């Protein structure tokens, strides 16, 4: 074999060996990140891997000349640089709260539970009759700021005579963070009861959307909290308890997921530190309270673009190329770690069906045609809550039923207002409990 070919083969072999060494060191680093739960911002894993790698490089080069001794250190330096990028924050590590919107005043209330939450109040406007019962809005998330799109819808409800209050759940938006181990679905329910008590206006109507609908559903099964509720609108609920969360059922009509153009804007998941942290948390390999990134840093880093196709899944397939901008970069806030923590407490909770069957608070269930939620999450609420007086199947909309497109906001507001005023429903009462088997069979 000609000498040039031999030299080329040797070079390729050394390159492959060095690449394998880098990959091995990175894999060992990730394994230690998982084993240590990211202790010390990842530096515990980094120090151990780099320390062992340096010793191994010294041993390999012990009989070589000085230039030869440096060669084993090249993959170590490359791996050390790659893994170090996972350990160094690129955003502030103390909470950076969104600025207050110009269109509404944010107050901060200290609840009896210890939570300090951001509160928004939309007073009744327009010529519509004033409703004597206040309306409280629980947004989705679970730990997410109220979007500009939702604020616009709340203003519409106020324009129809409702005295609207909304608060961002502890840890979300402009509300103060909690220690990670204090986040739970039970705490969220107690915060609702404490908020209504702090409001001091007697019983209230509550509109709960998505994760907020889960809080509301569980509140209806909690007698102490339910005593504060006048009427309940359960819009597009997630799983209400562990048994429901384990249902692998069907979804609504096709959504825009995988059809819509990719969201534009910066992504924290393009930064190695946050790609690793959020990815391992989502896989359940890091705990929400891990030592790799703190809660505040994670909140500061997460962007709307990181939600990716999750946003598109809230719209019908027909709307894939006209999905509205739900929020501004300045107002957007989402706590991935706290949300995962609350979801875990839901998945670990026993069935609430026996207590929900005792509910007497008049309730309405709203279901979207193109819902990305598992249908059985919604029909389980209908089947187990005898106080659900009507169900409104909303045609032409996805999970985010009020979205500024066409007349969707007007239709959603009409359905909600009709129920809260005890007026005839704008849409058929469908599905009813007896309709559930056919509703699921027909893939509605």
**Could you list the pLDDT tens digit for every one of the 444 residues in the chain?**
566 655 554 555 566 666 887 888 899 999 999 999 999 999 999 999 988 888 887 877 666 665 656 767 788 888 889 999 999 999 999 999 999 888 888 999 999 999 999 999 999 987 778 899 999 999 998 999 999 999 999 999 999 999 999 999 999 999 999 999 999 999 999 999 999 999 999 999 999 999 999 999 999 999 999 999 999 999 999 999 999 999 988 888 999 998 988 888 889 988 999 999 999 999 999 999 999 999 999 999 999 999 877 899 999 999 999 999 999 989 999 999 999 999 999 999 999 999 999 999 999 999 999 999 999 999 999 999 999 999 999 999 999 999 999 999 999 999 999 999 999 999 999 999 999 999 998 888
Tokens linked to 20: 């394998």
- Whether 291 contacts 39, CB under 8 Å: yes
Alpha-carbon dihedral of residues 225, 226, 230, 231, nearest 10 degrees? Answer: 120
Give the integer Cα–Cα distance in Å for 305 and 326: 11
The H or E element spanning position 4 is helix 3-36
pTM over 0.95: no
pLDDT at 266 (0 to 100):
87
Give the integer Cα–Cα distance in Å for 373 and 15: 49
Q: Where are the domains of the chain?
A: 3-87, 106-441
Maximum CA extent, the chain: 94
Sole residue written with tokens 């909600």: 416
- Whether 340 contacts 329, CB under 8 Å: no
Tell me, which fold does domain 106-441 have in CATH?
A: Rossmann fold (3.40.50)
Residue 393 dihedral angles phi and psi, to the nearest 5°: -85, 115
Q: How far apart are the first and last CA of the chain?
A: 70
In this structure, is the dihedral angle defined by the CA atoms of residues 303, 307, 312 and 314, taken in order, positive or negative? negative
DSSP 255: B
pLDDT at 6 (0 to 100):
57
Give the integer Cα–Cα distance in Å for 382 and 363: 10
Please count the other Cβ atoms lying within 10 Å of the Cβ belonging to residue 24.
14
Distance of CA 44 to the CA centre of its chain: 29
- Whether 180 contacts 188, CB under 8 Å: no
């Amino acid at each position: 074999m000609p000498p040039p070919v031999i030299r080329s083969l040797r070079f390729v072999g050394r390159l492959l060996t060095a690449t394998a060494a880098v990959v091995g060191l990175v894999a060992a680093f990730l394994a230690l990140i998982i084993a240590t739960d990211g202790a010390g911002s990842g530096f515990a894993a980094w120090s151990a891997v780099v320390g062992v790698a340096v010793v191994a490089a010294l041993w390999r080069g012990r009989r070589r000349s000085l230039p030869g001794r440096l060669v084993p250190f090249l993959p170590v330096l490359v791996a050390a640089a790659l893994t170090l990028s996972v350990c160094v924050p690129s955003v502030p590590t103390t909470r950076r709260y969104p600025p207050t919107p110009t269109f509404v005043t944010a107050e901060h209330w200290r609840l009896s539970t210890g939570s300090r939450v951001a509160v928004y109040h939309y007073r009744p406007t327009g010529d519509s009759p004033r409703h004597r019962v206040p309306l409280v809005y629980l947004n989705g998330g679970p730990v997410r700021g109220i979007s500009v799109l939702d604020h616009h819808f709340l203003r519409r409800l106020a324009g129809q005579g409702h005295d609207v209050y909304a608060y961002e759940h502890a840890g979300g938006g402009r509300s103060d963070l909690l220690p990670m181990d204090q986040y739970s679905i039970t705490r969220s329910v107690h915060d609702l009861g404490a908020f209504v008590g702090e409001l001091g206006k007697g019983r209230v109507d509550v509109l709960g959307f998505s994760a907020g609908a889960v809080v509301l559903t569980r509140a209806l099964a909690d007698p102490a909290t339910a005593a504060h509720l006048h009427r309940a609108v359960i819009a597009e609920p997630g799983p209400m308890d562990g048994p429901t969360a384990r249902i692998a059922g069907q979804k609504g009509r096709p959504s825009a997921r995988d059809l819509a153009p990719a969201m534009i804007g910066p992504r924290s998941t393009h930064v190695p530190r946050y790609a690793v942290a959020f990815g391992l948390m989502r896989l359940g390999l890091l705990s929400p309270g891990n030592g790799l990134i703190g809660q505040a840093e994670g909140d500061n880093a997460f962007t709307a673009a990181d939600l990716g196709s999750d946003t598109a899944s809230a719209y019908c397939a027909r709307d894939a190329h006209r999905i509205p901008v739900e929020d501004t970069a300045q107002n957007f806030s989402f706590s991935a770690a706290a949300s995962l923590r609350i979801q875990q407490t839901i998945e670990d909770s026993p069935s609430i069906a026996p207590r929900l069957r005792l509910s007497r608070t008049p309730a309405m269930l709203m279901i979207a045609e193109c819902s990305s939620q598992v249908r059985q999450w919604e029909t389980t609420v209908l089947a187990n809550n005898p106080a659900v007086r009507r169900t409104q199947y909303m045609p032409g909309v996805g999970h985010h039923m009020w979205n500024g497109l066409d007349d969707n906001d007007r239709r959603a507001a009409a359905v909600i207002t009709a129920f809260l005023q005890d007026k005839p429903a704008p849409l058929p009462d469908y599905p009813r409990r007896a309709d559930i088997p056919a509703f699921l069979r027909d893939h509605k």
